[in-house]
Structure 1
Amino acid sequence: MEKQKILIVDDDQEIVDTVSYALENAGYEVAIARDGNQGLALAERDDPDLMILDMMMPKRSGFLVLEKLRRIREQPLPVIMITGNEGSRHKAYAELLGVSDYLQKPFAMDRLLTAVADLLAKD
């Protein structure tokens, strides 16, 4: 059986290392993008099953990535947005753009893994 592919889009090396390690140990294939532009390119090229997306990044924010993804993809991509931002307006906007889940940093890794499993089980 083919592994489900998860694209992590985040500029924080520590988050990328920790999340990718946990996902790989849980049996997922992981791709990594360091900024929003690279994330969009990989999302188009690799067609991941799910994206974990940071809100604040260089070159293109998570919001701009979401906006573009919604325009270019025929099938919606499940997206878990992660952020250090505490504003409720940001969460509301992310939900308006169709994020599947929204986690505030720091988050419990088991919470992220549960969200990933739940979203991928819906497919």
Structure 2
Amino acid sequence: MAEEDLQPVDDASKTAKILIVDDDVEIIESVRYALEHEGYEVVIARDGNQGLALAEKESPDLIILDMMMPKRSGFLVLEKLRRMNEAMVPVIMITGNEGSRHKAYAELLGVSDYIRKPFQMDKLLRAVGTQLASA
């Protein structure tokens, strides 16, 4: 693979800061690697409470949020985010849960996109690009 193939495609994406809120180390590391490869700045939170604190402190352009986490679920994080100043930040919820009720509830809370695990990384990257373009 040529060196230029490893460069981010869109230089405008370099300024976008993405907060990943997940307790699964493998998900965090693989998503972080893919996002950083695309030129995004990545901030990591390993539970819902840390995610809320970092959302307020870091002012991310987008949040990737797991549904099931210790201390505070993705639903509770999303509810709080929508009541805070971060109300307009796009949130992509990722979950291993198959239930359609959960998706409906996430949409009611204002989630921007909902992706079930396991997912193809290119699907997540497309969702990130779409949300950042429309933000």
- TM range, smaller chain: over 0.9
Unaligned runs of 5+ in 1: none
The equivalent of 2:3 in structure 1 is: none
Alignment of 1:15-34 (within 5 A): 15-34=27-46
Q: Which has the higher helix share?
A: 2
Are 2:130 and 1:90 equivalent residues in the alignment? no
Which of 61, 79, 90 aligns to 1:49? It is 61
Are 2:81 and 1:69 equivalent residues in the alignment? yes
- Identify if the C-alpha distance between structure 1 residues 93 and 75 changes in structure 2 by more than 3 Å, giving closer, same or farther: closer
SS of structure 1 residue aligned to 2:132: helix
Letter in 2 for 1:25: H
Structure 1 position 112, deviation (Å): 0.3
Give the count of matched residue pairs.
123
Structure 1 position 74, deviation (Å): 5.7
Worse-superposed segment, 67-76 or 86-95:
67-76
Q: 1: CA distance between counterparts of 2:124 and 2:36?
A: 13
% identity of equivalent residues: 75
Which of 67, 78, 85 aligns to 2:90? It is 78
Once superposed, which parts of structure 1, at least 4 consecutive aligned residues long, lie more than 3 Å away? Answer: none
For the aligned residues, what is the CA RMSD? 1.1
- Identify if the C-alpha distance between structure 1 residues 89 and 48 changes in structure 2 by more than 3 Å, giving closer, same or farther: same
The equivalent of 1:103 in structure 2 is: 115
Listed one character per residue, the Cα deviations across residues 55-93 of structure 1 (whole Å, up to 9, x for unaligned) are: 000000000000001111264110000000000000000
Letter in 2 for 1:122: S
SS of structure 2 residue aligned to 1:23: helix
Q: Is contact 2:56-2:86 (8 Å) kept?
A: no
- Identify if the C-alpha distance between structure 1 residues 106 and 41 changes in structure 2 by more than 3 Å, giving closer, same or farther: same
Are 2:122 and 1:118 equivalent residues in the alignment? no
Q: Is contact 2:55-2:86 (8 Å) kept?
A: no
Are 2:47 and 1:35 equivalent residues in the alignment? yes
SS of structure 2 residue aligned to 1:31: strand
